[in-house]
Amino acid sequence: MNESLFRRAELVLPGGVNSPVRAFKAVGGIPKFISHAEGCRLTDVDGVSYVDYVGSWGPMILGHNHRVIREAVELAAAKGLSYGAPCRAEVELAELMTSLVPGLEMLRMTSSGTEAVMSALRVARYVTGRCKLIKFEGCYHGHSDAMLVKAGSGALTLGTADSGGVPESAAALTLSANYNDLGSVEKLLDANRGEVAAVIVEPAAANMGVVAPAAGFLKGLRELCSIHGTLLIFDEVITGFRLSPGGAAEKYAVTPDLYAFGKIIGGGLPAGAFGASREIMSCVAPLGEVYQAGTLSGNPIAMAAGLAQLRYLAEHREVYGYIDAYAEKLARGLAEIFRGKAAVNRVGSLLTVFFTSRSVDSYSAAKASSAEDYAAFFHAMLDCGFYLPPSRFEAWFAGAAHGEFELSATLEAAQRFARSGALR
């Protein structure tokens, strides 16, 4: 059934999928069509069950179909699916988010992380009166025109850092620096003095694979932006409410000027948000001149799911210690199994296995890892019942539903692969 569904999908969906990385192009083979999910497991349409380390690319921090979130969604759905008008849950979710995240005083809900980033950039340009942007090679910030320049995630997986259909005039306003290299940022700011509206960064990179910020890197960005009158934007679509209750800003004690959020704040449903201080956000319509709108922004079902998840995390902060410890054990075990053949990077509950003999602290080092070895590893693990990201440039997500059984079984399967002689 899985293969027949894919053949049908290819006729009506580009590549048979609705997001490029799902196509398995980077690892080969046919993607799995999922029938249902529970806890840390996915089950495909052929009835095969997998331990899931993708977690819907981050939102399922508590596991699939968590009772608290499911009940909140059922209760909200019984009252209507969409109002096109304000609802209580969006206010309560915004109140909770602003109470947890450093420097976040006001926010606007969107329906995706891409929307959130696009809107944050527009605000930065208005506030500063400047047009240019600085991003980092290998960091992915959604698929808006300005951000598809030397991008990570799916764009990197497909072997191109840019996209067709992006006007040169849009790309020309986006400058690329090297992640973990403050000198490259300083050179761009000096060469474009008074022209750069914002520096946008994944505070912990997760779209070139997981790469931690070097000591002093984020604080250095904060200082450079302050000196040059440039706004610092943290793209916390992945790291927000995952690395800590206050996200990367809390974990690294660095407060940006603007935030973009997504994934976890929707509890598994489509949601995003951008926000900042009250002063900055007062420029957004209807208070100010920066127009931003969305028919399904603040959708009552998505808001109910996100509110239930964030409330649970705020009330059960031990979840963060558990998922970090699980990921640390998993990363340590994998590093031992692949000693000398792979670098295993971890930040909190995020990790990536790069098949390379060198450490990976940059975009160039991530690109130098072996695609062939990762593809072999991916399929060996899939055959053993483990669903990993179908790209070496994506993060694995540990969640609260993973337990000691899954940990031991994952490491045993990885050990069998290492002993198989499949690695180059």
What gap in Å lies between CA 57 and CA 233, rounded to an integer? 21
Fold of the CATH domain 67-315: Aspartate Aminotransferase; domain 2 (3.40.640)
β pairing state of 34-38 and 343-347: unpaired
Q: What is the pLDDT of residue 159?
A: 40
Q: What is the pLDDT of residue 227?
A: 98
Q: Provide CATH code, domain 2-65+317-419.
A: 3.90.1150.10
DSSP secondary structure string for all residues of 274-302: EEE-HHHHTTBTTTSSB----TTTT-HHH
Q: Where in the chain is the domain with CATH 3.40.640.10?
A: 67-315
- List, for residues 42-75, the tens digit of each pLDDT value: 999 999 999 999 999 999 999 999 999 999 999 9
Q: What is the pLDDT of residue 169?
A: 74
Whether the Cβ atoms of residue 64 and residue 54 lie closer than 8 Å to each other: no
Residue with tokens 């160039």: 364
Q: Where in the chain is the domain with CATH 3.90.1150.10?
A: 2-65+317-419
Pick from 213, 217, 258: nearest CA to 236:
258
Helix (H) or strand (E) holding 249: helix 247-252
What gap in Å lies between CA 273 and CA 299, rounded to an integer? 12
Pick from 81, 116, 155, 86: nearest CA to 367:
155
Helix (H) or strand (E) holding 304: helix 300-315
Token pair belonging to 58: 């981050």
R_g over Cα of the chain? 21
What gap in Å lies between CA 107 and CA 113, rounded to an integer? 13
Report residue 122 CA to chain centroid gap. 21
Q: What is the pLDDT of residue 172?
A: 81
Q: What is the pLDDT of residue 168?
A: 78
Distance set, CA 75 to CA 38, 91, 109, 303, 304 (Å): 20, 17, 21, 12, 9
Q: Is 79 helix (H, G, I), strand (E, B) or coil?
A: coil
**pLDDT < 70 stretches in the chain:** 145, 148-163
Q: What is the pLDDT of residue 299?
A: 98
233 Cβ neighbours under 8 A, 6+ residues apart: 117, 120, 121, 124, 198, 199, 200, 201, 256, 257, 258, 259, 260
- List, for residues 258-310, the tens digit of each pLDDT value: 999 999 999 999 999 999 999 999 999 999 999 999 999 999 999 999 999 99
Token pair belonging to 265: 């704040």
How many other CB atoms are there within 10 angstroms of residue 97's CB atom? Answer: 24
Token pair belonging to 184: 């490259």
79 Cβ neighbours under 8 A, 6+ residues apart: 300
- List, for residues 241-255, the tens digit of each pLDDT value: 999 999 999 999 999
Whether the Cβ atoms of residue 258 and residue 231 lie closer than 8 Å to each other: yes
Q: State the catalytic residues.
A: 140, 235, 263
Where does 139-257 show beta strands of DSSP type E? 174-177, 196-201, 231-236
Q: What angle do CA 62, 65, 66 make, to 5 degrees?
A: 45
- List, for residues 6-19, the tens digit of each pLDDT value: 999 999 999 999 99
pTM over 0.75: yes
